[in-house]
Chain A
Amino acid sequence: MQLSSLSSLFRRPSQRWQRNLLMAHADALVAGSPVSEQMRLACARSGETELKALLALAERIERAMPPVAPSEQFVMELRQRLLQAEKRQAVSLWGRVQRLPLHTRVAAGIGGATLTAGVVFLATRSVYEALGNRRNRRAITA
């Protein structure tokens, strides 16, 4: 794009027009296109000082934020951890229980059975007590 043709773009700046121009400039900037600099020069020639300042600022931002790269060691280690983690997640709960040592499974079974029996006992007792209280009340009223 020629500088003269770009200059004609700066005749009637509106908010929307400015926004479009700024974003087009940013896109050209990150694409490494020389149009971005031509835009700024054309803007300077047209006397658009505010726009010119914003375009220059965008160029400074682009320079201040170059892409960075993580270390190769980090990338490789994280990759391994991710793949191993997925493998662990793929094992079901039942599969994990089956992998436990026999004495742990027996202890867990006894513990679970005791707990269940205790809950059942407490629940049954409260039901019997409630029924007994009801019977007593009936007997008193009779």
Chain B
Amino acid sequence: MTEPQEQNGRDYAGADDLQLVAWAREDRAAFGELYSRYVNRIYNYVYYRTGNHQDAEDLTSRVFFKALAHIDRYVDRGVPFSAWLYRIAHNQVANWHRDRSRRRIVPLDDFMLDGEAPEAPETVTESSEEEAQLLELIRALPPERQQLLVLKFVEHLSNAEIGAIMNRTEGAIKSLYHRTLLALRGGLEGKRDES
């Protein structure tokens, strides 16, 4: 990253998100620092929600352009900047799924196994066939459950952070996680019965 550590007497690397947001309203370098901090996380999030690198890049771009355009609107009311960014990402992914379903009406199984297979996470990680099957089931879950799994297992966020992003209490997050595991187990058993 070519981010300058200091410019205009400002210590970007040492500043917290809130300070950077305040600077970023008029200072491009401050937004650059925010971008550096979150680009990988947002990319990961979008990647596991879409299943391919091309769309992950496209949506990651949209998320940051949106954040840049609306940075004036961000006000810290107990929701951290990262949570605000994830919410933008969540909305972008939701729009992407909606547009995609409008353009092509295909069975869910076909959607899961379409031409993007070479770039799907399962191949990238060289995981086993079972893991590929599991990822397929995860992508068939309702959006909020997918979101929870990505935030927990890919982003390694705490329950409080996930709660802030999803606008839920920590208790609700735990409950959702429990239900998600039960649903996945049911899905895996169903697959086993089919084969």
Contact = CB atoms under 8 A, between A and B. Distances in A.
Interface of A: 15, 18-20, 22-23, 26-27, 29-31, 53-54, 57-58, 60-70, 74-76, 78-79, 81-83, 85-87, 89
A107 B121 CA distance: 56
Interface stretch (B89-97, B103-111, B131-139): B131-139
A60 B65 contact: no
A74 B53 CA distance: 11
B67 to A, nearest CB: 9
A81 B61 contact: yes
B195 interface: no
B181 A60 contact: no
B39 interface: yes
A89 B124 contact: no
Given A61-B138, A67-B44, A85-B65, A26 B177 contact: yes
Contacts of B153: 26, 29-30, 61-62, 65
Given A65-B121, A76-B2, A79-B32, 15 more contacts: A26-B177, A27-B159, A60-B134, A61-B134, A61-B149, A61-B153, A63-B131, A64-B125, A64-B131, A64-B132, A67-B154, A68-B43, A78-B64, A85-B65, A85-B68
B55 interface: no
Interface in B60-74: 60-61, 64-65, 68-69
Contacts of B69: 89
Contacts of A83: 28, 31-32
B114 interface: no
22 contacts: A22-B181, A23-B159, A27-B159, A30-B153, A54-B178, A54-B181, A57-B185, A63-B131, A64-B121, A64-B127, A65-B149, A65-B153, A65-B154, A66-B154, A67-B154, A68-B44, A68-B47, A68-B124, A78-B35, A78-B57, A82-B32, A89-B68
B169 interface: no
Interface in B159-193: 159, 171, 173-175, 177-178, 181-182, 184-185, 188
B134 A64 contact: yes
Contacts, number: 116
A70 B182 contact: no
A68 B57 contact: no
B112 to A, nearest CB: 14
A20 B57 contact: no
A111 B20 CA distance: 45
A93 B17 CA distance: 30
Top 4 A-B pairs, shortest CB-CB distance: A64-B131, A19-B174, A70-B43, A30-B156
Contacts of B68: 82, 85-86, 89
